[in-house]
Amino acid sequence: MNRREIDVVLNNSSEFIDMRCNSFNSKNKICFIIPEYVNKKIVEKGTKKQKEHAWKNLILTEQLRGRRLVTGLMSSMFSVSNKLDRTIFDAENSENLPGTVVRHEGGKPKGGKTVTEAYDYSGETYNFYKDIFERNSIDTRGMKLDSTVHYGEDYNNAFWNGTQMVYGDGDGEIFQRFTKSIDVIGHELTHGVTQYEAALEYEGQPGALNESFSDVLGSLVKQYALKQKADKADWLIGAGLFTNKIKGIALRSMKDPGSAYNDPTIGKDPQPGHMKNYVNTSSDNGGVHINSGIPNRAFYLTAIELGGYAWEKAGRIWYITLTERLRERSNFQKAANITYEVASTLYGRGSHEEKAVKNAWNQVGIEIKKVK
């Protein structure tokens, strides 16, 4: 696309962008941390430089979602390992994956802060799943944790493509480097866990649950690394990713959905925290990053009520729900019912844990319906 075509789009085109961005296959397994509506808002409200970065990101995202990314799956299927195995690649600001190897498992630190963060935080995520849930990597078979850093030029996103993690450096205007946030890395790697377990469709309520479970477990990865109890955690996703030019504290707040940012360039955080404010939309794959605020708050309320370390009880209930009970098309009601049933199974009928789960879902507008 030439300069004139970009200028036309930037000056006139919220409708055109909607058409382009919503033409993706909703079942595609590439999961991005930054939703399309953020870049669309930047195209409408940002400076000329910010608009150009946002438009490039939208086009690149479309190209990625249309690409068949299957490399690496076969090796995962046929190899079993019980050891952490990380490799960090450098795309050198190209869009070629995986890139050049810059650090192997056990190798000496090199490649700067971005490589170190990708290496360390993927290791923290692996350790969390192994120590807390006895899970052997993403696929339960010791899958290698490959990550590519310095992807694209000024790329404002991070994503799981079905086989590996990919991180952009941010544009320095709105976003900083995406390896900076451990919960973002935990979030994206959890998309891999979901891929191998419930395989929740990435659209509508199943897609919002897909996003929510990644937020829940990504937040628990951070809390586990910091050894924080529920009442000491910030319950933010992507804290520190924005530059100081943006009025915002994070990408999302699990404690108070809709409060993470409010800025003239990127707009206001659109997440609801209650079903009465549920957003019916065709964008963002049916609001997967938007309506995830509802189950996010349900988990937060459960964790706070139960106290202590959130991964011990609330986290275990949600993990079992994801890995053993949910299916591709499960919706919010199904998730609520199952978390309640799992709490009852683990801790007994009438237990504090069962009541906490029920009350949490009630507070976000979902009444538990007992399955006969």
Torsion-angle region of 66 (φ positive above 0: left; ψ -120 to 50: alpha; else: beta): alpha
CB count, 10 Å around CB of 7? Answer: 14
**First vs last Cα of the chain: how many Å apart?**
57
The one catalytic residue among 52, 173, 188, 211: 188
Give yes or no for a contact between 309 and 223, defined as CB atoms under 8 angstroms apart.
yes
Which residue in 187, 289, 305, 353 is the catalytic one?
289
List of residues 6+ apart from 161 with CB closer than 8 A: 29, 30, 64, 69, 97
The DSSP bridge partners found for residue 101 are 89
User: Rounded CA gap, 361 and 302, in Å?
Assistant: 9
Q: How far apart are CA 265 and CA 205, in angstroms?
A: 28
Question: How many residues comprise the chain?
Answer: 372
Q: Please identify which residue in the block is written with the tokens 């988990």.
A: 299
Take residue 187 and report the two structure tokens written for it. 């979030």
Are 159 and 188 spatial neighbours (Cβ–Cβ below 8 Å)?
Answer: yes
Spatial contact of 288 and 331, defined as CB atoms under 8 Å apart: no
Residue 191 annotated as catalytic: no
Q: Which residues have CB under 8 Å from 73's CB, separation 6+?
A: 162, 163
Structure tokens at 303: 């964790």
354 catalytically annotated: no
What burial letters (b/e) apply to 145-181, b meaning 16+ CB within 10 Å?
A: bbbbbbbbebbbbbbbbbbbbbbbbbbebbbbbbbbb
Q: Please list the active-site residues.
A: 188, 289
